[in-house]
Amino acid sequence: MKIINTILVSLLSHLPKWIVKPFASPYVAGVTVNEAVETIKSLNNKGYVTTIDILGEHVATEEESYRIRDDYLNLYDRIEGLDANISLKPTHLGMEIDPELSESNLLSILEKAKEKNNFMRIDMENSPYTDSTIDIYKKCLKKYDKVGMVLQSYLQRTKQDIENLDSAKFNCRICKGIYRESEKIAYHGKEEIRDRFFADVKAILTGKGYVAIATHDKLLIDKIENWIIEKKIPLNRFEFQVLYGVPMGNRLQRLLDKGYTVRNYVPFGEAWFDYSIRRLKENPNIMWYVLGNMFKK
């Protein structure tokens, strides 16, 4: 069955978008801002907080980076009053063209976040952009406290980055990492990455910072939760984060019931197709879930 699922997902990537859309919809909050806002409202009503991302990366022109910047500025207006903040990618704002361009765009968005008294998180992309992203994060942090970043546990440098960035203002999402990186700079073993993730979360929580624990690995979530309980870590030092639509059984509700903050990462936008194919490849079983719902209807 796993092989059949994988083949079906591979076929989807070559089909027209209208055929793929029903399979993509569990992972994407729509194409428009209005659709994304309605998804956020629904999640808030269920007890979840959210972070919202406009899908896309690696813009080709300065003009395109300005358009994305303006879309994020508008987005802060649209989510006002909701329990939502924003995550954004530096290459979506021009880093591949010029780091100074993305910095200028990010600082404009940061000013909007400050105006709205909201939070902004700078996503981490693949290794060529790690140092530039950390540099921009540091500049943003000097201007506004409510800004965070992301570190990836499969990178060998992350342990040192956590030590260097540790402070009461340090707000970091820890994730395993999704980009293809060389064995020279990244861990590749599943258990090794899991161990590094656990160590990174502990390092932030035994330091001064705040950690967003971003994983769907239920065994890892249990291990971290047990450690948090054992060490009596205050609830205001961490949160759990998951991608919108990724099946987790009743695990998320159980975390909510225990009083933990659970944040859904909510992507939307015109670049939904490539993102959805990536999610489906990670979890091809969703094919049968969607097909079952279609036949029920």
Instruction: Cite the active site residues.
Output: 123, 173
Find all residues with CB under 8 Å of 128, minimum gap 6, and list them: none
Range 95-99 contact pairs with CB under 8 angstroms and sequence separation of 24 or more: 95/129, 95/132, 95/133, 96/58, 96/59, 96/129, 97/59, 97/60, 97/61, 97/62, 97/65, 99/132, 99/135, 99/136
Residue of 159, 120, 164, 149 whose CA lies nearest to 210: 149
| Ramachandran category for residue 20: left, alpha or beta (phi over 0 → left; psi -120 to 50 → alpha) | alpha
Q: If you write DSSP's letter for every residue of 83-123 in order, what string do you get?
A: SEEEEE-GGGGTTTT-HHHHHHHHHHHHHHHHHTT--EEE-
**Other CB atoms closer than 10 Å to residue 260's CB: what's the count?**
16
Torsion of CA 201, 207, 209, 213, to 10 degrees: 10
Where helices occur in the chain by DSSP H, the ranges are 2-12, 17-24, 33-45, 62-78, 99-115, 130-143, 158-165, 190-206, 218-231, 251-257, 272-282, 286-296
